[in-house]
Protein backbone atom coordinates (compact mmCIF):
# COMPACT_ATOMS: atom_id res chain seq x y z
CA UNK A 1 0.00 0.00 0.00
CA UNK A 2 1.46 3.35 -0.99
CA UNK A 3 1.76 6.07 1.62
CA UNK A 4 1.99 9.83 1.37
CA UNK A 5 5.26 11.44 2.42
CA UNK A 6 3.78 14.28 4.45
CA UNK A 7 4.44 15.55 7.92
CA UNK A 8 2.61 13.75 10.70
CA UNK A 9 2.47 16.91 12.85
CA UNK A 10 -0.96 17.93 14.09
CA UNK A 11 -2.64 14.90 12.58
CA UNK A 12 -6.16 13.92 13.51
CA UNK A 13 -6.52 10.64 15.34
CA UNK A 14 -9.64 8.53 15.27
CA UNK A 15 -10.49 5.35 17.17
CA UNK A 16 -11.63 3.26 14.20
CA UNK A 17 -12.16 3.24 10.43
CA UNK A 18 -15.86 4.06 10.51
CA UNK A 19 -16.76 6.51 7.73
CA UNK A 20 -13.15 6.86 6.58
CA UNK A 21 -11.93 4.37 3.96
CA UNK A 22 -9.20 6.73 2.74
CA UNK A 23 -6.50 4.06 2.57
CA UNK A 24 -8.71 2.08 0.13
CA UNK A 25 -9.11 5.01 -2.27
CA UNK A 26 -5.84 4.47 -4.17
CA UNK A 27 -5.34 0.72 -4.12
CA UNK A 28 -6.88 -0.28 -7.46
CA UNK A 29 -7.55 -3.81 -6.20
CA UNK A 30 -6.77 -5.99 -3.19
CA UNK A 31 -3.04 -6.69 -3.12
CA UNK A 32 -3.11 -10.43 -3.68
CA UNK A 33 -0.99 -10.14 -6.81
CA UNK A 34 2.56 -8.85 -6.86
CA UNK A 35 3.36 -5.73 -8.90
CA UNK A 36 5.85 -7.57 -11.10
CA UNK A 37 3.36 -10.33 -11.84
CA UNK A 38 0.55 -7.91 -12.65
CA UNK A 39 2.79 -5.84 -14.91
CA UNK A 40 3.47 -8.91 -17.02
CA UNK A 41 -0.22 -9.74 -16.99
CA UNK A 42 0.42 -13.03 -15.17
CA UNK A 43 -1.75 -13.48 -12.15
CA UNK A 44 0.23 -14.79 -9.22
CA UNK A 45 -1.87 -14.71 -6.06
CA UNK A 46 0.01 -15.15 -2.84
CA UNK A 47 -1.13 -18.67 -2.14
CA UNK A 48 0.29 -18.63 1.35
CA UNK A 49 -2.21 -16.01 2.44
CA UNK A 50 -4.85 -17.60 4.61
CA UNK A 51 -7.44 -15.07 3.51
CA UNK A 52 -6.84 -16.00 -0.14
CA UNK A 53 -7.16 -19.68 0.70
CA UNK A 54 -10.44 -19.03 2.51
CA UNK A 55 -11.96 -16.92 -0.26
CA UNK A 56 -14.89 -18.42 -2.20
CA UNK A 57 -13.83 -19.59 -5.67
CA UNK A 58 -16.34 -17.31 -7.37
CA UNK A 59 -14.83 -14.26 -5.69
CA UNK A 60 -11.29 -15.42 -6.56
CA UNK A 61 -12.23 -15.80 -10.22
CA UNK A 62 -13.96 -12.43 -10.27
CA UNK A 63 -10.91 -10.75 -8.75
CA UNK A 64 -8.39 -12.51 -11.02
CA UNK A 65 -10.38 -11.45 -14.07
CA UNK A 66 -10.48 -7.87 -12.84
CA UNK A 67 -6.72 -7.86 -12.24
CA UNK A 68 -6.02 -9.42 -15.63
CA UNK A 69 -7.87 -6.57 -17.33
CA UNK A 70 -6.67 -3.84 -15.01
CA UNK A 71 -5.19 -0.77 -16.66
CA UNK A 72 -2.85 1.07 -14.28
CA UNK A 73 -3.06 4.87 -14.37
CA UNK A 74 -0.70 6.61 -16.76
CA UNK A 75 2.10 9.02 -15.83
CA UNK A 76 2.68 7.66 -12.34
CA UNK A 77 -0.73 8.79 -11.09
CA UNK A 78 -2.12 7.09 -8.01
CA UNK A 79 -4.45 4.16 -8.49
CA UNK A 80 -8.15 4.74 -8.07
CA UNK A 81 -10.35 3.13 -5.41
CA UNK A 82 -9.93 -0.55 -4.70
CA UNK A 83 -12.49 -2.59 -6.64
CA UNK A 84 -13.73 -3.94 -3.30
CA UNK A 85 -14.27 -0.47 -1.86
CA UNK A 86 -17.88 0.36 -1.04
CA UNK A 87 -18.00 4.12 -1.62
CA UNK A 88 -21.48 4.54 -0.15
CA UNK A 89 -20.57 2.90 3.16
CA UNK A 90 -16.86 3.83 2.99
CA UNK A 91 -15.72 0.36 3.85
CA UNK A 92 -14.54 -2.92 2.33
CA UNK A 93 -17.21 -5.00 0.60
CA UNK A 94 -15.34 -8.19 1.47
CA UNK A 95 -13.73 -7.24 4.74
CA UNK A 96 -13.39 -10.85 5.91
CA UNK A 97 -11.41 -11.67 2.75
CA UNK A 98 -9.11 -8.64 2.64
CA UNK A 99 -5.39 -9.39 2.13
CA UNK A 100 -2.73 -9.25 4.81
CA UNK A 101 -1.47 -5.83 3.73
CA UNK A 102 -4.88 -4.38 4.54
CA UNK A 103 -4.98 -6.21 7.89
CA UNK A 104 -1.52 -4.86 8.74
CA UNK A 105 -2.43 -1.24 7.91
CA UNK A 106 -3.36 -0.12 11.38
CA UNK A 107 -5.76 2.64 12.26
CA UNK A 108 -3.77 5.44 13.87
CA UNK A 109 -0.52 4.12 12.39
CA UNK A 110 1.92 6.29 10.42
CA UNK A 111 0.47 5.46 6.98
CA UNK A 112 -3.07 5.97 8.21
CA UNK A 113 -2.26 9.36 9.68
CA UNK A 114 -0.36 10.44 6.57
CA UNK A 115 -3.22 9.54 4.28
CA UNK A 116 -5.76 11.23 6.51
CA UNK A 117 -3.59 14.33 6.72
CA UNK A 118 -3.22 14.36 2.92
CA UNK A 119 -6.99 14.22 2.53
CA UNK A 120 -7.54 16.89 5.18
CA UNK A 121 -5.22 19.22 3.25
CA UNK A 122 -6.16 18.43 -0.33
CA UNK A 123 -9.66 16.94 -0.18
CA UNK A 124 -11.21 18.42 2.97
CA UNK A 125 -14.74 17.84 1.74
CA UNK A 126 -14.15 14.09 1.94
CA UNK A 127 -13.67 14.30 5.70
CA UNK A 128 -16.79 16.37 6.42
Give me the residues that bind ligand SF4 (CB under 6 A), please. Answer: 14, 17, 20-24, 27, 30, 82, 84-85, 92, 98, 102, 105, 107, 112, 115-116
- The CB-of-60 to ligand SF4 minimum distance in angstroms stands at 13
- Residue 91: its H or E element: strand 91-92
- The CB-of-74 to ligand SF4 minimum distance in angstroms stands at 21
- Are residues 18 and 126 in contact, defined by beta-carbon separation less than 8 angstroms? no
- Are residues 47 and 10 in contact, defined by beta-carbon separation less than 8 angstroms? no
Q: Which is nearer to ligand SF4, 37 or 83 (CB)?
A: 83
Q: Which is nearer to ligand SF4, 37 or 86 (CB)?
A: 86
- The CB-of-48 to ligand SF4 minimum distance in angstroms stands at 17
Q: Which is nearer to ligand SF4, 27 or 67 (CB)?
A: 27
Q: Which is nearer to ligand SF4, 17 or 46 (CB)?
A: 17
Nearest residue to 102 (alpha-carbon basis) of 25, 9, 42, 44: 25
Contacts of 24 (CB under 8 A, 6+ apart): 81, 82, 84, 85, 92, 102
| Secondary structure (3-state) at 80 | coil
- The CB-of-55 to ligand SF4 minimum distance in angstroms stands at 11
Amino acid sequence: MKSKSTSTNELPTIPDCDSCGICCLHMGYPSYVTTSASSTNQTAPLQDEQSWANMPDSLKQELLLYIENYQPPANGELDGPCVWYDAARRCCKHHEHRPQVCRDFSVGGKGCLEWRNHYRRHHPSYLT
